[in-house]
Amino acid sequence: MRNRVSSWRSAVAVVVVIAAVAATGCGSSSSRSASKDATATTQVAPQPAYAGELETKLQEGMKANAIPGIAVLVKSRDQGDWSATMGTAEIGKTVPIQVADFFRIGSNTKTMTSTVILQLVQEGKLKLDDPVSKYIPNVPNGDVITIANLSEMRSGLFSYTSDLGFNQTLDSDPQKAWTPQELLDIAFSHPVNAPPGGSFDYCNTNIVLLGLIIEKLTGMSASQAFQERIFQPLGLTHSSLPVNTDSSIPDPHARGYQFLSNAATINSYAVPKDQLAAALDGSLLPIDNTNANPSWAWTAGGAISTPDDLAVYVKALVGGGLLDAAMQKIRMDSIKPSDPSAPNGAGYGLGIAQFGPTFGHDGQIPGYSTFMVYDPVKDNTIIIGTNLAASPVNGENAAVVLGKLVIAALYSGTAVGGDPAQTGGTTPG
């Protein structure tokens, strides 16, 4: 089933074999300017030791998955910092991406929503074991679904992004300004998938409910709550959650693409085998979704940010700075394998995910994909932004495909499995 706001596909085992890699120096990408070859990497020497081979692998990964362009930002205490851009910001033109570009960050937004919820728990305004019916009426099983169930993706509710009619409307009316109630009405028109508190089932309906609870308890819009509780305290001046009538994205930004329509990708983002060769050789072009209204994603996937802002944010998300020590521990301790049969695989908790030795989230929305993780032990930060939602080869979040290559470069011998949130189809991850 398609979960349009993030891409935690059933996790394959994550094997972690960490070997120290000595590296020094730092690199940074240059600003956008006229370029003879926008497919080349833009960077400034000196580079850390891992960068040369990683650059080659990233370029190979882009080609193998038809990814037009990427921005990568790595901060490593022991191995050195590096940033680079590769590819193009617009298909058919030589327009370099820059690390300063704005990206729609998809389901990375979920971490922000759960962060505000945990802040409200700290403040005594709600409890993690409160039933959702205490705050929102008419939710199926609402008297037994808890706030924690919503944040941990264990509510059993149907995700509105798996509804065919919803996806057809996204295609026919990409500028529609969706309201949270419209999204819930779609979700609740379907039977629940499972009893609450059971298996992991990535669901955007959960996070829309949490967004409404934030608005009810704070007396402000979710956009304002994010601004006052997350962006301002961290000094994130290039991050926002747009209101539902705003489909713009600030400059500079790349054009954002997705192969096939939303309705066609409801079960998987993978391009059908008979069209895959055309997608990879450029004769089948992806759809430009740059200006599609992301209001349908809202607190589940509607935020906008930059790699630099995400680097600051994910370090606070994982290492602390937005919650008190006790609540931060509760959050980190909540992470469990998304697939119990793969205990060493990717994990998910209270609006936070685990990829091997790193923690954070990924994001996918038609047009863009992003990956943000931090390792509090090694003090490593990895940020990837791409202007393609998903690989046409296997439907995996495009930024996650490349993010696994970066993890492997920093942790020699580490193999990183799939994305715990990617259960298929339409997903701003």
Each residue of 347-387: pLDDT tens digit? 999 999 999 999 999 999 999 999 999 999 999 999 999 99
In a domain, 70, yes or no: no
**pLDDT, position 419:** 55
Integer Cα distance of 181 and 161 in angstroms: 14
Residue 291 identity (one-letter amino acid): N
pLDDT at 59 over 90: yes
3-state secondary structure (DSSP) of residue 278: helix
Q: Write out the two tokens for 88.
A: 């193009």
CATH number of the domain where residue 312 is located = 3.40.710.10
34: confidence class by pLDDT, cuts 50, 70, 90? very low
Q: What's the structural domain count of the chain? A: 1
Best CA proximity match to 402, nearest among 54, 79, 113? 54
In a domain, 125, yes or no: yes
Integer Cα distance of 355 and 415 in angstroms: 10
In a domain, 97, yes or no: no
Residue 257 phi/psi, 5-degree rounding, is: -130, 155
Residue with tokens 């059993």: 156
Each residue of 325-334: pLDDT tens digit? 999 999 999 9
What is the span of the domain harbouring residue 264?
103-410
Integer Cα distance of 285 and 389 in angstroms: 13
In a domain, 358, yes or no: yes
CB 356 within 8 A of CB 411: yes
Cα within 13 Å of Cα(131), Cβ side: 12
In a domain, 88, yes or no: no
421: confidence class by pLDDT, cuts 50, 70, 90? low
**C-alpha triplet 392, 397, 398: angle, nearest 5°:** 70
Q: Where are the alpha helices (DSSP H) in 97-219?
A: 108-122, 147-151, 164-172, 180-188, 204-218
State which H helix or E strand residue 39 sits in: none
410: confidence class by pLDDT, cuts 50, 70, 90? very high
In a domain, 33, yes or no: no
Residue 251 phi/psi, 5-degree rounding, is: -85, 150
In a domain, 392, yes or no: yes
E strands along 8-130, which residues?
69-76, 82-87, 103-104
- List b or e across 39-76, with b for residues whose CB sees 16 or more CB atoms inside 10 angstroms: eebbbeeebbbbbeebbeebbebbeebbbbbbbbbbbb
In a domain, 230, yes or no: yes
